[in-house]
């Protein structure tokens, strides 16, 4: 791997200063000395340590991985052109057209940050989770507790690793087999569009080897798209919560925005309100 160019740290710092805290989901307080993101906020968004971000900006960390650069590009809400510039300044090739793109456009990130009352997760074409808000964590648990390679819906449903262990039980109005089959059909569709994507090929190999259900659906399902549904999520703190799960496709980006909502004034809306207040954590109980 080539070493990062000195411009890499300068780009990070300049784009961090440029990004509005409100657009990234942070409150703009009066005590801020600069209009942009603090270094610790960028680290939080990218899933990195503050010390590592500091060393990248100062040029003391010279070999960031493609995964790290991609996370920073998403956190900084870069355009596709800017993202490619960041990859090149890191001594890396930008993602190629024949592979799945995990870049989340700035407008989608702003929308996700501002719709703070609604659990939202953004998924790439292979159903890898690439962006989420605080309410998503409150409903489903914090994806940061999982290795990056395990933040994938297919691995959660069909795998036997950390993603599957962390998946909160749920029931689908479409029946669980229909939901599972639709996920495989969607991944099969992605495989036909991205035959050169190494990560997607590895996902399919792993799950066809370890999951008889995945292998069955893969061999029998036609390529298709996963659609909206109504789900009952078994939450450890608020109990069963029935939500409309809508899948919104981002035109031109091959991303899926998954949102969970409840009818106004319903008991399920009240449970979402409680999660919003508590962050999905247990309330203190009397001893």
The CATH number that applies at residue 84 is 1.10.260.40
Residue 220 within any structural domain of the chain: yes
Each residue's pLDDT tens digit, 190-240: 898 888 888 999 999 999 999 999 999 999 876 556 667 899 999 999 999
Residue 98 within any structural domain of the chain: no
Domain shared by 155 and 254, yes or no: yes
Q: pLDDT at position 28, please?
A: 66
Domain shared by 116 and 250, yes or no: yes
Q: pLDDT at position 100, please?
A: 86
Distance CA 72, CA 52 (A): 12
State mean pLDDT over 127-149. 92
State mean pLDDT over 101-124. 86
Domain shared by 64 and 190, yes or no: no
Domain shared by 148 and 27, yes or no: no
- For residue 169, give Cα distances in angstroms to 49, 91, 176, 235, 251: 31, 42, 11, 8, 31
State mean pLDDT over 176-190. 87
Q: pLDDT at position 282, please?
A: 44
Q: pLDDT at position 98, please?
A: 72
Number of Cβ within 10 Å of residue 204's Cβ equals 21
Residue 226 within any structural domain of the chain: yes
Residue 34 within any structural domain of the chain: yes
Each residue's pLDDT tens digit, 14-36: 999 999 888 888 876 766 777 78
Domain shared by 65 and 143, yes or no: no
Domain shared by 136 and 36, yes or no: no
Mean pLDDT of the chain: 87
Domain shared by 76 and 206, yes or no: no
Question: 165: which residues sit within 8 A by CB, 6+ positions away?
Answer: none
What total of structural domains would you count in the chain? 2
State mean pLDDT over 150-168. 95
- For residue 223, give Cα distances in angstroms to 205, 218, 253, 265: 17, 9, 19, 39
Residue 95 within any structural domain of the chain: no
Domain shared by 117 and 220, yes or no: yes
Each residue's pLDDT tens digit, 243-286: 999 998 887 788 999 999 999 999 999 999 999 998 866 433 22
State mean pLDDT over 155-179. 89
Distance CA 15, CA 83 (A): 11
Confirm whether pTM is higher than 0.85: no
Residues 140, 168 contacting (CB under 8 angstroms): yes
Domain shared by 74 and 122, yes or no: no
Residue 139 within any structural domain of the chain: yes
Domain shared by 63 and 191, yes or no: no
The CATH number that applies at residue 201 is 3.30.450.180
Which is nearest to 143 in space by CA: 258, 59, 12? 258
State mean pLDDT over 73-89. 88
What is the extent of the structural domain holding 261?
Answer: 106-278
1 pLDDT band, cuts 50/70/90, is: low
- Counting Cβ atoms within 10 Å, is residue 149 exposed (0-12), middle (13-18) or buried (19+)? middle
């Amino acid at each position: 791997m080539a070493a990062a160019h000195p411009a890499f740290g300068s780009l990070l710092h300049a784009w961090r200063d440029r990004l509005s805290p409100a657009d990234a989901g942070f409150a703009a307080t009066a005590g801020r000395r600069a209009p942009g993101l603090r270094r610790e906020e960028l680290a939080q968004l990218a899933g990195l340590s503050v010390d590592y971000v500091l060393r990248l900006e100062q040029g003391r960390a010279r070999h960031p991985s493609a995964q790290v650069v991609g996370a920073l590009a998403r956190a900084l809400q870069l355009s596709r052109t800017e993202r490619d510039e960041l990859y090149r300044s890191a001594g890396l090739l930008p993602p190629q057209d024949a592979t799945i793109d995990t870049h989340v456009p700035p407008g989608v990130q702003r929308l996700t940050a501002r719709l703070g009352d609604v659990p939202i997760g953004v998924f790439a074409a292979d159903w890898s989770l690439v962006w989420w808000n605080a309410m998503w964590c409150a409903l489903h648990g914090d994806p940061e507790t999982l290795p990056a390679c395990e933040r994938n819906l297919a691995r959660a449903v069909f795998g036997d690793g950390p993603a599957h262990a962390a998946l909160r039980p749920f029931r689908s109005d479409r029946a669980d087999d229909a939901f599972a089959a639709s996920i495989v059909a969607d991944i099969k569709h992605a495989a036909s569009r991205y035959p050169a994507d190494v990560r997607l090929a590895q996902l399919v190999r792993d799950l066809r080897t370890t999951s008889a259900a995945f292998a069955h659906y893969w061999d029998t399902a036609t390529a298709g798209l996963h659609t909206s549904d109504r789900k009952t999520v078994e939450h450890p703190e608020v109990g069963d919560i029935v939500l409309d799960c809508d899948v919104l496709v981002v035109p031109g980006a091959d991303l899926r925005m998954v949102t969970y909502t409840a009818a106004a004034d319903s008991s399920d809306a009240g449970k979402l309100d409680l999660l919003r207040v508590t962050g999905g954590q247990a309330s203190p109980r009397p001893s």
